[in-house]
Amino acid sequence: MAYERIDKPKGLLYHYTKRENVESILRDGRIRKFKDSECWFCTSLEDTLRFMELTVMQEGKLYFDANGFPRQYPKFVPEDYVILELAPRHQNGEWVRWNQELPKDVPEALLKLGEEFSHLKAGFRGDLRFYENPNVYEVAELLQEQTPAMQMDM
């Protein structure tokens, strides 16, 4: 996996988290990096939902945790998640993109998925402070809103 430095994203940022973390995040006024060297954000609600679709919504699928150990995604319960809409405060820090590296002989569709995954998110090296009173979106409600639109496309 290769990191590259990127420009600071413009405007609002979106971060999904479990509901149980919201109180401490709002109290602290920052998103703290987890066990990684950075914390991750998307630049739109749509990108955040797609990022979730490729990660936490993959019930039973294999992933590697922050320590490099293989794990399986647990059952996805939409009511357990929220998305925070954040206005970042001025701070020093490095913005990065983690580019998914795949062998050259994988199918083209998998290469495109890896590229999409890499570009859905931006990492901040450090804890990201934000202005008070961020919007909090219920993931269950956002998914319900998407369902009628998805049915009309069929």
Give the residue ranges of DSSP H helices in the chain.
19-28, 45-54, 108-120, 139-153
What is the DSSP secondary structure assignment for residue 60, as one 8-state letter?
T
135-138 vs 81-86, strand pairing mode: antiparallel
**Which tokens go with 85?**
């809409």
Q: What residues are paired with 53 via a beta bridge? A: none
Closest CA to 47 of 18, 86, 15: 15
**Which residue shows structure tokens 């990065």?**
96
Chain centre to alpha carbon of residue 56: 10
Which residues pair with residue 72 across a beta bridge? 62
The per-residue pLDDT for 56 is 94
Q: Where are the domains of the chain?
A: 2-153
SS3 17: strand
The pair phi, psi for residue 17, each rounded to 5°, is -155, 165
Residue 152's pLDDT is what?
46
Residues of the chain below pLDDT 70: 1, 34-36, 147-154
Do residues 43 and 8 make contact, with C-beta atoms less than 8 angstroms apart?
no
Q: What is the pLDDT of residues 25-48, one digit of tens each?
A: 999 999 987 666 778 999 999 999
Instruction: Report the predicted TM-score, pTM, of the whole model to 2 decimal places.
Output: 0.88
Give the number of other Cβ atoms within 10 Å of residue 147's Cβ: 9
